[in-house]
Amino acid sequence: ANPRPVLSIAGMMIRNDLLYPVTEVMITVPETGAFAGCGNIMPQTDCRTSFETVDYSGNAMVVSWKEYGQAYSTKEFVVEPGKAIDLNRPAWLEVTIFAAGQAGAKFVQF
């Protein structure tokens, strides 16, 4: 029995706030095997991918990427929808690589 979906997700955006490119960016959900990513994100830009809306049940995710060929990864973490998120509308997952070797994520709605 799956837990009731917390939220539905219609896409993801990966932002590179660094001053150099990042490569092989992947978002992986170990529990389900789901993954999505972007091959190359130039400095101060983002990569967006929309997909058929999927249910997000609160599973942990891992973000991995490379800077100058060196691999980085977050620990598993769970993204909680903030108070501003309307659970009746699909959201996007926004992952930001915000400092060398560091990334975070949040849900956003447009």
pLDDT per position as a tens digit, 9-41: 999 999 999 999 999 999 999 998 888 999 999
Distance CA 41, CA 106 (A): 19
Average pLDDT score over the chain: 92
- pLDDT tens per residue, range 67-102: 999 999 999 999 999 889 999 999 999 999 999 999
- Amino acid at residue number 66: K
Under 8 Å between Cβ of 8 and 90: yes
Residue 1 has pLDDT above 70, yes or no: no
- pLDDT tens per residue, range 37-62: 999 999 999 999 888 888 888 899 99
pTM: 0.89
Distance CA 58, CA 67 (A): 28
Residue 3 has pLDDT above 60, yes or no: no
